[in-house]
Amino acid sequence: MSQLTYREAVRHALAEELTRDPNVVVMGEEVGQFQGAYKVTQGLLEKFGPKRVADTPISEAGFIGMGIGASMLGVRPVMELMFWSFYSVAFDQILNNAANVRYMSGGQINCPIVIRGPANGGTNVGATHSHTPENILAAHPGVKVVVPSTPYDAKGLLKSAIRDNDPVFFLENTVLYGEKGEVPDEEYLIPLGKADVKREGKDLTIVTYGRPVIQSLVAAELLAKEHDISVEVVDLRTIRPLDIDTVLASVRKTHRVLVVEEQKPFCGVGAQLTYMIQAEAFDDLDAPIGRLCTIDAPAIYSPPVEAEQLPNPQRILKAALALLD
């Protein structure tokens, strides 16, 4: 096992897949000569050359459309968005074309494209650079949506995403890029659509994904030390397909559940998740389902205010205690 940062884990996955499959290419703004806006692609241009790692113009509609066309012809493009907030510029290409091409061709044409980049708040870059669009992306049949929380998950899930024959939207987090974790030295894959229990518990289930997994684990530790409360933390890892079976198994064990997400509350992933839990496990619940989201306003630029707008350990702790009262 090696200690890698989240950034390094993503880079290792890209390098391994570029080496394994000559059809894999990496494209996006500043991925080559500048080595990535967040240095995720550092060293890849030098190792694989400009035909495999290509800088693109600042035109998401143009280069995402090009990548989709290339994927339909047998290339496996990994496209980097500097921010997932800019996906809206290529909304037609991503969700009207890539999502539908296999269905509309009767299964004759695949679209094995990965679109990756950061989708998060917490870096004080304002409302136009802090979107979390996983709910909008996952609302479209034909796509897969992945939100890893750890270096281990980021590498294993990205390798699976690159090998998948459907469009995969891979949402990372700039706050996590420098976080370290154990990553196996040998090759491994994590299947898409499989949740992970990051912490075992018996009194309350927290269901979450992305950076809130890390915040929830901190809150769970505080609840154990300060209140003798045992919290189970379930990391969805993949939003679509969604591993509802792992979630339900945990809820049936603890009988209380708190959904935590770095999304605005209205029409978020948590709304779908709470519906699915109550539809399948209503009789197992000893309390109403709790839900903790980002406070419902555009991303706040002020660092101390944005820190309170997002899920944080103290907000999660208070919401958990309210469910157990």
CB count within 10 Å of CB 227 equals 14
Quote the CA–CA distance of 258 and 204 in Å, as a whole number. 8
Condensed to tens digits (0 to 9), the pLDDT of residues 81-100 reads 999 999 999 999 999 999 99
Per-residue pLDDT reduced to its tens digit, 16-31: 999 999 999 999 999 9
Query: Measured between alpha carbons, how far is 216 from 293 in angstroms, rounded to an integer?
Result: 12
CA distances from 31 to 79, 102, 247 (A): 9, 28, 37
Q: Say whether 60 is catalytic.
A: yes
196 phi, psi to nearest 5 deg: -135, 130
Angle at 157 between CA 320 and CA 104, to 5 degrees: 105
- Here the tokens at position 38 are 């967040």
pLDDT of residue 325: 80
Helix (H, G, I), strand (E, B) or coil at 234: strand
DSSP-based three-state secondary structure for 81: coil
Question: Residue 100, class by beta-carbon neighbours within 10 Å (0-12 exposed, 13-18 middle, 19+ buried)?
Answer: middle
The residue ranges of the chain whose pLDDT is under 70 are none
Is 196-324 in the same CATH topology as 2-183? Answer: yes
CA distance 17 to 54: 16
pLDDT of residue 175: 96
Q: CA of 66: how far to CAs of 21, 61, 70, 78, 142, in Å?
A: 20, 8, 6, 12, 19
What one-character-per-residue DSSP string does 257-313 give? Answer: EEEE-SS-STT-HHHHHHHHHHHHHGGG-SSPPEEE---SSSPP-SHHHHHHHS--H
Catalytic residue among 29, 60, 232, 262: 60
Q: Which CATH class is domain 196-324?
A: alpha beta
Q: Which residues 6+ apart lie within 8 Å of 287 measured at CB?
A: 255, 256, 323, 324
Out of 8, 129, 179, 262, pick the active-site residue: 129
The CATH code that applies to domain 2-183 is 3.40.50.970
Pairing type for strands 24-28 and 76-80 reads parallel
pLDDT, tens digit, 9 for 90 and up, residues 61-80: 999 999 999 999 999 999 99
Domain boundaries, the chain: 2-183, 196-324
Active site residue 129: yes
Give the pTM.
0.96
